[in-house]
Structure 1
Amino acid sequence: MTQGLTYRDAGVDIDAGEAVVDRIKPLVARTFRKEVLSGLGGFGALFELAGRYRDPVLVSGTDGVGTKLKLAQQLNRHDSIGIDLVAMCVNDVLVQGAEPLFFLDYFATGKLQVDTAVSVIAGIAKGCELSGCALIGGETAEMPDMYPPGEYDLAGFCVGAVEKANLLTGDRVQAGDVILGIESSGPHSNGYSLIRRIIKHVDADLAMPFGSGSLADALMQPTTIYVKPILALMQERPAHALAHITGGGLKENIIRVVPDGLGLDIDAASLKLPPVFQWLQEAGAVADAEMWRTFNCGIGFTLLLDANDVTSTQAWLQARGLASRVIGEVVARDGTDDERVRID
């Protein structure tokens, strides 16, 4: 051997990593809030809480986007998957009434493709702008032999805060409360292993016309970020509890914020499947019960609130572009979580 080995010889291109950082700096800077004291470049990012809260509780969340990544990579569409990543985390911390403050991402791949990485991280920055949180740091990891060519993985981490007096724990929920469902933009980021199985099962043409676009467009719609309107709503007409409809669908998510001794009656007739869900159900011959425990079925976020507040809350949401409908109510019921939720 006449010349020593380098890190690039081993499959890690430091120059490519630096190129990604240089290109994302202006995107990240647009997400910064006044509380950010330091961002990219340090060993740790700094965020100041002083003066903003009297008695703050920090709420943290982490998530990914599951096998929707596989579909994004198959379609070579990387510009919105970052929005999905942020949405899955910020919508979760929102459930407890928290305002998302800052976000960190983890992007891992076998060989770093600069344009792809920048496109993904640009989506993450866009999601942070939509939710009002700062993209304060992250990690881009190039790991040869860990991932097949062209593939990457994502994870996100979010920290939010809420005044302790306003923390939503589910203790305000009572029998007679109404479940108000806010529409989703599509499957969001859940159930994609089944979606991909259905696509393969029927050999679906993802480019086929579907609605105002293609089937691929319908399946790749980014997850709705509910943060700004819901935080504003809670200032004016607080709900008793909130729920983000993710993995487990309608069957398993809403009950997570309902105290023992109470259950849910969900009206199946109110769950009018949007076209993309109709296609999935028909193409895969998926039973209703399986749809309800896998997908959001057109309802991405729910509020549990007093029946007297439903009409005014719906009007408030509609004025801000969020369509909603009553999908059920809270009832007195014991048993396991599965027994406590009835959809009929």
Structure 2
Amino acid sequence: MARTRAFAPASIGNVSLGFDLLGAALSPVDGEQMGDWVEVKNAESFALSVDGRFASRLPSGASNNIVTRCYDFFQQALASHNKPLLKVAMHLHKALPIGSGLGSSASSIVAAFYALNEHAGKPFDEDTLLVMMGELEGQISGSIHYDNVAPSYVGGMTLMTGQDNPVCSKLPVFDDWYWVVCYSGLSVSTAAARDILPRQYELGTTLTFGRQIGVFVHALHSGEKALAASVMQDVIAEKHRKTLLPKFDEAREYCMAQNGIAFGISGSGPTVFAVANNLDDAKRMQTWLNIHYIQNDDGFSHICHIDTIGARHISA
């Protein structure tokens, strides 16, 4: 193929109760795409171009862009497996804000690797690509974790295994849950949001964390919605990270008063998410968040379902 274009959706890391272990890909119910796309096309020499709403927020210079790092990493992997190198140029459409808690860097990384692998004739399998994606994501956040790259790549809600093969396991989801996500317009560094966390936790907290994720996974597999919702509280990061998010407590109080199933921080924030059983409740939550939680013109909100597809080809 002369040209390959791939889209990777935004994602919620942690999903409140699953710090570094759970992630969920997002698809707005209105049909709008929420994520980045990357195009790979045949060329004599490598070059990177960028556009999109948040392209101006990226580091200047192609060498500082994560997509260039993906290209370099992929070429090294091809060489180490005695595969022919690619002669391509790349383009990044940056639609997700940096430091938003929506898996912005993961979306770019996933779209880049997916497009490169497809363009090269799929030399690497899913888990090999995921390990590559995790390595690149770790360069940005300071530690390797898959709770954004995995759902963005394979779709759905993913549970990280802690292994290289398989890297993650897809979990069942409730198709009739509505996920309201609201980005305030502020930026929170993933590395800084990790630094704010304690280095040690009390035994009772770790036991609660383990119980919650075990019950949640069981409830998804058994279709017990109320049980799943009952354990969607963050005992690891929220009380520390919410200090970085203006109006977080007010937003939670309102959304839960509107029949909210759950409310939490998406990844490191500042994006928050609320879960509703029906569209009317979700719309009320979205309206309030638009007025009270968004801090500037960069902010936005969407009502979503879980994106079960993940990364995909899109027409060039």
* Common fold by TM > 0.5: no
Which structure has the larger Rg? Answer: 1
> Higher relative CO (CA 8 A, sep ≥ 6), structure 1 or 2?
2
- Normalising by the residue count of structure 2, what TM-score does the alignment of the two structures yield? 0.30
